[in-house]
Structure 1
């Protein structure tokens, strides 16, 4: 069977479900109690037709039922087998069925199969609830910005979804990819464009896949931290200044990545929380931590966030308020 044809059939029936029930939100909004909850899933490494992938789907269902997030975020290395379209259908089915909006950034393994990065982005747009946007013409890397709206616009928040790319594009440099200067410049321009009239920046979070070089610097320092480091940070050898840009622009409160499956820490680096999500995969890849999801809760009008990890066995671990608990 043609996987694309199968997927289109799936979308048709899901559309019928949504037409009969609750529609996913086109725009994100703070709740009546002033909160907005995000569940991060990372490094699922789903392989269609492989039984070892199924626990990750059960995890997604469990997290959505238990935490009831306002947004699900996938931070790369989600589908790592063929046919990719079937994989995306399977991974996103629990999210679509729950009517939860979702956003996504790609990892270094997502486009190594039968779909390019651009084809994956086009495919994602056909799923109900996807809040991703077409990349800006000046940042054709999959980078996009989503606002969490409040009645008072000055109490809104921003969510950055950035493509940290895959591998080095220079023969003289080995290892993983990095943010281009175009991406850094795009972020800075968009940050200033979305500033309030007073010049004050809206509080923001940033999600991407590969940790910045500053992750290692921060963890090795005396800075306060929470969580585990069980492997060296697999960051790029080239530092193009994305962290520095975020520090000077002053909107990003925390960055959330994956990539390193057995790290789950958050560390305070000059007032920005550098955090890992909790590995969400099954036995199709490495990792001996119990899988789960990092939860983040924003509060309207506050430059802080609460975060914890919800594990598959029900445990809630490493709950903190940032930055207060890591000052």
Structure 2
């Protein structure tokens, strides 16, 4: 955890709720900027991975974010430790805090899922914890961003482990959020809502595998806001209700995933923005686009955000402004 100090409260299911202390804060103008890198697919000693590092360096210099979020499938070659060193080096050299959510390929190299989580949390400036007691997966967490004057949480960021592959033989494809993960999210959300006098604090959620609702949302033409769908959404076939939980709790304004390298769209569904990041890797895996990163800007006190994609050639595309009713 490096220099970050945590004050924690323990509530049902052993869910650890960080109240504050991670040094995430809106600036003096009330702005907070996040850069999302996803599906870097870095392979150590593969020259094709240089394109990913070049992108990370360039985007960080152009955007100067307050936080970096890496949403899975980051290192997909051996030795994984060398890969993580290479990917995180540009972030660490610029002294930027970062959060990681795991993808389905991150533990397929020479480190288990727990070992990857332990490695990630060993780096300075990382805000994750390895595991929340009694909750499925690794690096699950809620990360409050404090107001620039109030020193109270003004924005919540959820980082969640969407797991990897189906554990039920009859169901093919990818995994889903488990009931205990959803209940953990519910506890976090309700805790912070209570802390805020019963009013949900604006929140964003980050994870790797898109929810089944992405398919539904994009198929309704008027929901499409920006970006493109270049391949079918590879969502889990089993819907366990994470989207419904976020909708009912009323805090999450948008969710940001990766996984599908060709998709970078945002679609609105019942007032929640279902968004993809932009594929950030080189040609170490299948690619349908030039690589890039999603940038998300939030203003303190506003239930909404602005977002765009920054490409490796410096161009900005798919500018989108969203204000939640």
TM-score (norm 1): 0.90
How far apart, CA to CA, are the structure 2 residues paired with 1:197 and 1:262?
A: 39
How far apart, CA to CA, are the structure 1 residues paired with 2:22 and 2:248?
A: 31
Correspondence 1:33 to 2:32: no
How far apart, CA to CA, are the structure 2 residues paired with 1:311 and 1:132?
A: 27
Aligned to 1:156: 154
Aligned to 1:165: 163
In terms of mean alpha carbon deviation, does 125-134 or 202-211 score higher? Answer: 125-134
Please list every run of 5 or more consecutive structure 2 residues that lacks an aligned counterpart in the other structure. Answer: 4-20
Aligned to 2:12: none
| Greater share of helix | 1
Question: How far off is 1:154 after superposition?
Answer: 5.7
Correspondence 1:49 to 2:45: yes
Question: How far off is 1:136 after superposition?
Answer: 1.9
TM-score (norm 2): 0.90
In terms of mean alpha carbon deviation, does 272-281 or 189-198 score higher? Answer: 189-198
How far apart, CA to CA, are the structure 2 residues paired with 1:224 and 1:58?
A: 31
How far apart, CA to CA, are the structure 1 residues paired with 2:45 and 2:284?
A: 11
Tell me the alpha carbon deviations over residues 230-286 of structure 1, each in whole angstroms, 9 at most, x when there is no partner. Answer: 000000000000000000000000000000001000011000000000110001011
Question: How far off is 1:26 after superposition?
Answer: 4.1
Aligned to 2:91: 95
Correspondence 1:260 to 2:260: yes
Number of aligned residues: 303
Correspondence 1:104 to 2:103: no
How far apart, CA to CA, are the structure 2 residues paired with 1:265 and 1:162?
A: 20
Alpha-carbon contact 1:47-1:87 (below 8 Å) kept: yes
Alpha-carbon contact 1:271-1:323 (below 8 Å) kept: no
Aligned to 1:144: 141
1:64 to 47, 60, 63: 60
Question: How far off is 1:133 after superposition?
Answer: 2.3
Aligned to 1:126: 122
Question: How far off is 1:215 after superposition?
Answer: 0.2
Partner SS state of residue 122, structure 2 = coil
Alpha-carbon contact 1:154-1:301 (below 8 Å) kept: no
Pairwise mapping of residues 8-23 of structure 1 onto structure 2 (< 5 A)? none
Partner SS state of residue 156, structure 1 = strand
Question: How far off is 1:36 after superposition?
Answer: 0.4
Question: How far off is 1:140 after superposition?
Answer: 3.8
How far apart, CA to CA, are the structure 1 residues paired with 2:258 and 2:229?
A: 12
Partner SS state of residue 279, structure 1 = coil
Aligned to 1:185: 183
Aligned to 2:200: 201
Question: How far off is 1:73 after superposition?
Answer: 0.6
Aligned to 1:22: none
Tell me the alpha carbon deviations over residues 164-206 of structure 1, each in whole angstroms, 9 at most, x when there is no partner. Answer: 0000000110000000011111101110011134200100000
How far apart, CA to CA, are the structure 2 residues paired with 1:212 and 1:90?
A: 30
